[in-house]
Structure 1
Amino acid sequence: MASSNKPSPTFKPLYQQVQELITVRIIEGVWKPGEMLPSEFQLADLLGVSQGTVRKALNALTEDNVLFRRQGVGTFVSEHTLQKMLFHFFHFKSDNGDVAAELPNAKLIATRLIQPSDNIRQILELENDDQVIEIHRVRFVQDASSIRELIYLPARYFADLEQVEKLPHSLYNYYQQQFNITIHKATDSIKAVLSTEQDKDILNVALGQPLLEVARTAKSLDGRIVEYRLSRANTENLHYLVELN
């Protein structure tokens, strides 16, 4: 008899299935950012598995920064506090080595609902009739306008955000609190560009001056691409820093 070339079905270990179940409940808002989960015993009873399986799932989620633990207290859903935002998602530092205590101030220039370009539609994996919210703002580092940001969000995930007149400096915390969307992973692509007329006016630089452009795609806990961000920075007194562990 000829052997079959069909791949055999694969099955995930039980703790990974529990890990996914817990993640889904976080996405659905059953357990909110900053909220404590039930105990290992309670989760084991709720999900019909052993405490050992639950503990393994919680360990994996903690290593992936979906959860965090407080010794002697319990396990909590991670949240985007300003301090965590600064070190995990904001990588621009002043050349003198100073590290700000919080995210640099951001001034909103405009927010609007638009039809995306083909490039943005492809990056955000949108359908043909999907609209995006465009946020245009400038960040100030040491009181100087240093970073111009264009942020694109799928409108279907951020209903009516374009109508908000004032947005906080920390958008990832805002996404989490207002829309139950947790930015879990982000990929930055960096290249040198020349300033445009808009850059010139907003960043107070010469036309054609070199800038550092960081293109970011950000994903939520369930793997959806929920943000595309272009940051164009005047790096005369700044540098981009990444620490590898």
Structure 2
Amino acid sequence: MADPRLEAPAWSKNTAGRPAGASAAFSPLYRQIKDLLVQSLDRGEWKPGELIPSEIDLAARFQVSQGTVRKAVDELAAEHVLLRRQGKGTFVATHHEARVRFRFLRLAADEGAETESAESRILDCRRLRAPADVGRALELRAGETVFALRRLLAFGGVPTVLDEIYLPGSAFRGLTVEALSANKAPLYGFFESEFGVSMIRADEKLRAVAATDDAAAALNLAVGTPLLQVERISYTYGDRPMELRRGLYRTDRYHYRNSLN
């Protein structure tokens, strides 16, 4: 007998948490399996970096064919939620792996094959009541708090990115500037390890701006220097927004790189 949880109609939430449409038809079976796998990831059944059960075991668990499970896993691997390793199995993606980390850092040097490793310095970390625009972006209720971070990224010793980051206070209780400064892992890896928050996708908006006094001082530039402003909302499982980030990028030695499929 099929798992009764597989009878969710197409108008219920899909993997990303968005309405799947107003059709009266049921969603494809592999999409329902995909949703159930994401729910297990969201509950922490399998942690970032851990091996998930084999397709045979998952097929038995959900009482569906192995091919149905494979299609669900293929989609999650294509979305970088899962990682396949030849001969080893399928693992939960983690930001401690470079190939996942660089999905979110799109800055590339104008010359040279790869952008060198970034040096991260936390300038400030405060807890405050969410400003109205931040609350809307993070889907917070009126009066909820956020952690507001300022961070400077340097490449080759040159200050290159000034980040303003907002995180929901309820999800990041106990965050301190001391913990952030002591952290040597990628920031999203730190969020995974310390707070159980996995960033799996992001929406971004880009625009050209001129450096203000504050940005110019932080990035060692003249006031008015052209900068690239990147505003990002990052989401965890269920399409829940977990970070609003506004970054100012130098473009004299670097460019913003993206791939369109």
State TM-score, norm by structure 1.
Answer: 0.89
- Aligned match for 2:206, one of 190, 195, 208: 190
What secondary structure is seen at the aligned counterpart in 2 of 1:36? coil
Q: Where does residue 143 of structure 1 map in the other structure?
A: 157
Q: Structure 1's 37 and 189: CA in aligned 2 closer, same or farther, altered over 3 A?
A: same
- Aligned match for 1:214, one of 223, 230, 244: 230
Q: 1:196 Cα deviation (Å)?
A: 1.7
Residues paired across the two proteins, number: 238
Q: Where does residue 121 of structure 1 map in the other structure?
A: 135
Q: Where does residue 80 of structure 2 map in the other structure?
A: 65
Q: Which amino acid aligns with 2:252?
A: E
Q: Where does residue 99 of structure 2 map in the other structure?
A: 84
**Larger Cα-atom Rg:** 1
| Unaligned 5+ runs, structure 1 | 1-6
Indicate if the aligned counterparts of 1:83 and 1:101 stay in contact, CA closer than 8 A.
Answer: no
Q: Where does residue 43 of structure 2 map in the other structure?
A: 28
Q: Which amino acid aligns with 1:240?
A: Y
- Aligned match for 1:47, one of 30, 39, 62: 62
| Unaligned 5+ runs, structure 2 | 1-21
Q: 1:85 Cα deviation (Å)?
A: 4.4
Q: Which amino acid aligns with 1:116?
A: A
- Aligned match for 2:192, one of 176, 196, 201: 176
- Establish whether residue 224 from structure 1 lines up as the match of residue 219 from structure 2: no
Indicate if the aligned counterparts of 2:172 and 2:195 stay in contact, CA closer than 8 A.
Answer: yes
Amino-acid identity (%) = 33
Q: Structure 1's 196 and 35: CA in aligned 2 closer, same or farther, altered over 3 A?
A: same
The root-mean-square deviation of aligned C-alpha atoms, in Å, is: 1.9
Q: Where does residue 3 of structure 1 map in the other structure?
A: none
Q: 1:234 Cα deviation (Å)?
A: 2.2
Q: Structure 1's 97 and 40: CA in aligned 2 closer, same or farther, altered over 3 A?
A: same
1:134-186 CA-partner distances (Å, limit 9, x unpaired): 11111101211111111001111112113635244511111222222221111
- Establish whether residue 14 from structure 1 lines up as the match of residue 29 from structure 2: yes
Q: 1:109 Cα deviation (Å)?
A: 0.6
Q: Where does residue 130 of structure 1 map in the other structure?
A: 144
What secondary structure is seen at the aligned counterpart in 2 of 1:160? coil
State TM-score, norm by structure 2.
Answer: 0.84
Q: 1:86 Cα deviation (Å)?
A: 4.8
1:172-222 CA-partner distances (Å, limit 9, x unpaired): 111222222221111221111122221122111122222211111111121
Indicate if the aligned counterparts of 1:116 and 1:132 stay in contact, CA closer than 8 A.
Answer: yes
Q: Where does residue 112 of structure 1 map in the other structure?
A: 126
What secondary structure is seen at the aligned counterpart in 2 of 1:156? coil
Q: Structure 1's 139 and 165: CA in aligned 2 closer, same or farther, altered over 3 A?
A: closer
Q: Where does residue 240 of structure 1 map in the other structure?
A: 256
